[in-house]
Amino acid sequence: MGVMVGKPAPDFTAKAYHNGKEKEVKLADYRGKWVMLCFYPADFTCV
Amino acid sequence: MDSNFSHKVWQEIELSKMVKEGIPFPMIADPGGKIGTLYGVYDDEGGVDVRGRFLIDPNGVLQAMEVLTPPVGRNVMEVLRQLKAFQHHQKTGELMPSGWQPGKPTLPPGTEALKRAGHIWEIWKVENAF
């Protein structure tokens, strides 16, 4: 398992918090748009 | 990593003080680091996703990535520079040399110096990197 530039980004479905509500997010639903996907260790981390 | 309840609390207590109306994009919960594992950024010893950033194009193809350990934050301007560079390349087929910024010269296909190896020095100078 791993990711590689120039190859399809692995798809996923997840619950997300957005505009005060919980909703489901599926990466494939963003076809046609650029996506920046960011990971961070935890909420309230400081950098 | 954190739950959507935690995202909500962070948004209400802190982020809404930095960004009016709060963060405008979805904040995903990644319990157990499943998505982090897919992208190779889950640290199972620490039990956290490290600071990974992935730029995915409109066809779902991964174009760029950057991964940092937790103490150092990312640079939004660099992400925007890469985004503009990939968008310009996909639109025009031009190549984006090292140090490219919007407004700086690109390398259009057909450029003389690209046709034979060893001639880029004629058009690209070290100053272009900065």
ipTM of this predicted structure: 0.93
Identify the pLDDT of residue B57. 98
Identify the pLDDT of residue A1. 55
Identify the pLDDT of residue B22. 83
Identify the pLDDT of residue A36. 96
- Per DSSP, chain A holds a count of helices (H) and strands (E) of 0, 3
Shortest distance between the Cα of B29 and any Cα of chain A, in A, equals 6
Identify the pLDDT of residue B95. 93
**Amino acid identity, residue B40?**
G
Cβ-based contacts of B25 with chain A (< 8 Å): 18
Closest CA to A18 of A29, A31, A4, A32: A29
Cβ-based contacts of B22 with chain A (< 8 Å): 19-20
User: Which sequence spans correspond to the domains of chain B?
Assistant: 4-50, 77-129
DSSP-derived pairing of the beta strands B62-68 and A21-26 = unpaired
Q: Tens digits of per-residue pLDDT, A1-47?
A: 579 999 999 999 999 999 889 999 999 999 999 999 999 998 888 88
Q: Model's pTM, two decimal places?
A: 0.90
Identify the pLDDT of residue B11. 86
Identify the pLDDT of residue A24. 96
E strand residue ranges, A1-47: 13-18, 21-26, 35-38
**Residue B66 and residue B60 in contact, taking contact as beta carbons nearer than 8 Å:** no
CB spacing of B60 vs A11 below 8 angstroms? yes
Identify the pLDDT of residue A2. 79
Q: Three-class SS of residue B37?
A: helix
Is residue B66 within 8 angstroms of chain A, CB to CB? no
Task: Provide the residue-wise pLDDT of chain B in tens; the chain has 130 residues.
Answer: 788 888 888 888 889 889 888 888 999 999 999 999 999 999 999 999 999 999 999 999 999 999 999 899 999 999 999 999 999 999 999 999 999 999 999 998 888 888 888 988 888 889 989 9
Retrieve residue A40's tokens. Answer: 């961070």
**Amino acid identity, residue B71?**
P
Rounded to a whole number of angstroms, the distance between the first and last alpha carbons of chain B is 36
Retrieve residue A37's tokens. Answer: 């996907």
